[in-house]
Amino acid sequence: MTEAAQTPPTAETTSAEDYTWLAHYPEGIDWHQQFEATPVYTMLDDTVAKYPNQSCCDFLGKKMTYREIGELVNRAAEGLQKLGVKKGSRVGLFLPNSPTYIIFYNAILKSGATVVNYNPLYTVEELEYQVKNSGTELMVTLDLKALFDKVEALVESEALQHAVICSFPDLLPGLKSFLFKLLKGKEVAKASSSPIVSRLTFEETLLNNPGNPEVPEIDPHNDIAVLQYTGGTTGVPKGAMLTHANLTINVQQSMAWTTRLEEAQEKVMGLLPFFHVFAMTAVLNVGVKLGAEIVMLPRFELDQALKLINAHKPTFMPAVPTIFNAMMHHPKIKNFDLTSLKVCLSGGAPLPLEVKRGFEDMTGCKVVEAYGLSETSPAVTINPLDGPVKESSIGQPIPGTILSLRDLENPMQEVPQGEKGEICIKGPQVMKGYWNMPDETANTFLEDYLRTGDVGYMDEQGFTFIVDRIKDLIICSGYNVYPRRIEEAIYEFPAVEEVTVIGVKDDYRGEAPKAFIKLRDGHTATADEILQFLESKISKIEMPEYIEFRDELPKTMIGKLSKKELVEEERERGHV
């Protein structure tokens, strides 16, 4: 493993007392407070000890207490160790939101290993890259065909050595489990008759032990808890090395800000996928630390989500703007009671002010926008629960976090307050570096500050506003989508000569990819043919929403494809 190539901290250009935000910080929140770095799994252990009979999760009607989850974590950790998992091993989670995720996430960490998060929507090709890059030795998944078939392909190709297969029907309450097997049996893989069965371990076998794992000593500041894959300016996925300290301190930072949440009194709505860094911290880790009940959906479905909120009365809901917007505009929204919500946290993409105000008016719930990155575990700034509402602001730095805006031409120079610069971040939640990518790590850090690639300015009260991006990036429903990845996939289509992909406005996703394509002379193709071709090459999130064929694509003076003219055209149409 190659660790971050960071230079030692240098003298600050301003002293802590001079930080713009401190004189205008929310009442009752101490920016200077100290945080304790602990192994991630101790958050669950502590809650099990304090609130053993409290409900930990509700999955489609089946509840499990913290004691039950804690016992299964210990058995899973021992079972993993018997499979050879040890300190430093990388174990993949290829799972939707479920109790299985909570159990194995903590079990992997308790065994001393590192969690590698995988997006269930990824293609086999995308998964294979991440498996090989991370050195994932073992993958945990469910017996749903949509998941198992991809894992089976990875094992057959020798990219992956072994997999643990857990039962989806067993996660459901009795009647639902029976009906699922009866009516949706075709969705369950026959894993026991797979040609790779000798390289599979089934959950029942893995958990057949007394639950006494040998818990290794963890150095929270240096041991990697999670490899969280994210793209770069080229869209090549990179594993952000998040330490145990990064994750546990970011939970404490976030909880210090959300002062309305009380231990063992909350229900957290788990609509966002746990494999995404936002939900991993804001739903899973914060939920566990609070001793909250986590009400989960395996994947977001609007009607089902509204029914769960109506029935289960959650109090805290992290979500992306598209979810708030979709709920507000549901044709039968008046049939659902959402007034149990006390706090909603919006992240992943800019929150339009009309969406914020509309959702608050409808529910009586406070919606605050936050900003973060995979590289920062993720929370960096949050708007105050009680304080000024500033349109388009990402808020103020959370406790212990420093924002420094750097000159775009000379990043060693800070810009004056109010002027635009690249947002750079320093704090205990900032990653250790990128896995096995020392050059990428060095390029991402400026001294001991993380460069975000986002351009913004800070006002006189320490509120930050993002106005541009240095990175070629599209944010779809809170997910980073990299145009280059889509372009490379489209270039594989035989009729395509040139392609340029940009982001355009999308009412539902915030932004969506639009591909401009020039075909080879004498060749024809339709948008449907290209979309069908792309299905095995890129994920649904990356799929172009629009395809436009052109006789010529704009180029620079030296003949490189140029995006700025296309962006300007779309802006004039009101699409950017």
With respect to residue 546, please indicate whether it lies within any of the assigned structural domains.
Answer: yes
Is residue 9 pLDDT above 60, yes or no? no
Q: What is the pLDDT of residue 17?
A: 65
Lowest mean pLDDT among 204-213, 259-268, 358-367, 470-479: 470-479
pLDDT class for 10, splitting at 50, 70, 90?
very low
Burial string for 63-90 (b: 16+ CB within 10 Å, else e) reads: ebbbebbbbbbbbbbbbbbebebeeebb
Mean pLDDT of 350-362: 90
Alpha-carbon distance 170 to 72, whole Å? 14
Q: What is the pLDDT of residue 325?
A: 86
Q: What is the pLDDT of residue 509?
A: 84
Question: What mean pLDDT value characterizes the chain?
Answer: 92
Per-residue tokens: 528: 């449907």
CB 398 within 8 A of CB 433: no
What element of type H or E holds 191? none
pLDDT class for 351, splitting at 50, 70, 90?
confident
Mean pLDDT of 167-192: 94
Domain of 517 in residue numbering reads as 474-572
Alpha-carbon distance 199 to 164, whole Å? 9
Give the chain's largest Cα–Cα span: 71
Q: What is the pLDDT of residue 12?
A: 43
The three-state DSSP-derived secondary structure of 489-548 is HHHCCCCEEEEEEEEEEECCCEEEEEEEEEECCCCCCCHHHHHHHHCCCCCHHHCCCEEE
With respect to residue 537, please indicate whether it lies within any of the assigned structural domains.
Answer: yes
Q: Give the tens place of pLDDT for each residue, 488-537.
A: 899 899 999 889 999 999 988 889 999 999 998 899 999 999 999 999 99
Number of domains comprising the chain: 1
For residue 496, the domain's CATH number is: 3.30.300.30
Q: Cβ contacts of residue 112 below 8 Å, gap of 6+?
A: 85, 86, 87, 88, 89, 215, 216, 218, 223
Q: What is the pLDDT of residue 255?
A: 96
Q: Give the tens place of pLDDT for each residue, 36-86.
A: 999 999 999 999 999 999 999 999 999 999 999 999 999 999 999 999 999
Alpha-carbon distance 177 to 160, whole Å? 30
With respect to residue 165, please indicate whether it lies within any of the assigned structural domains.
Answer: no
Is residue 341 pLDDT above 80, yes or no? yes
Lowest mean pLDDT among 98-112, 171-185, 362-376, 423-437: 171-185
Burial string for 212-243 (b: 16+ CB within 10 Å, else e) reads: ebebeebebeebbbbbbbbbbeebebbbbbbb
Q: What is the pLDDT of residue 392?
A: 85
With respect to residue 7, please indicate whether it lies within any of the assigned structural domains.
Answer: no
CB 67 within 8 A of CB 48: yes
With respect to residue 531, please indicate whether it lies within any of the assigned structural domains.
Answer: yes
Per-residue tokens: 152: 């089976």
Mean pLDDT of 335-346: 97
With respect to residue 542, please indicate whether it lies within any of the assigned structural domains.
Answer: yes
The 3-state DSSP class for residue 390 equals coil
Label the pairing between strands 55-59 and 293-296.
parallel
pLDDT class for 348, splitting at 50, 70, 90?
confident
Q: Give the tens place of pLDDT for each residue, 210-266.
A: 999 999 999 999 999 999 998 643 467 899 999 999 999 999 999 999 999 999 999
With respect to residue 346, please indicate whether it lies within any of the assigned structural domains.
Answer: no
**What percent of the chain shows pLDDT beyond 70?**
95
pLDDT class for 8, splitting at 50, 70, 90?
very low
Number of H helices, E strands in the chain: 17, 26
- What pTM, to 2 d.p., does this model score? 0.86
Label the pairing between strands 479-481 and 474-476.
antiparallel
With respect to residue 516, please indicate whether it lies within any of the assigned structural domains.
Answer: yes
Is residue 140 pLDDT above 50, yes or no? yes
Q: What is the pLDDT of residue 353?
A: 85
Q: Give the tens place of pLDDT for each residue, 369-389.
A: 999 999 999 999 999 999 888
Q: Which residues pair with 287 in a beta bridge?
A: none
Secondary structure E strands in 419-495 = 421-426, 445-446, 449-458, 464-469, 474-476, 479-481
Q: What is the pLDDT of residue 558?
A: 53
Distance of CA 543 to the CA centre of its chain: 19
Secondary structure E strands in 77-154 = 90-94, 114-117, 138-142
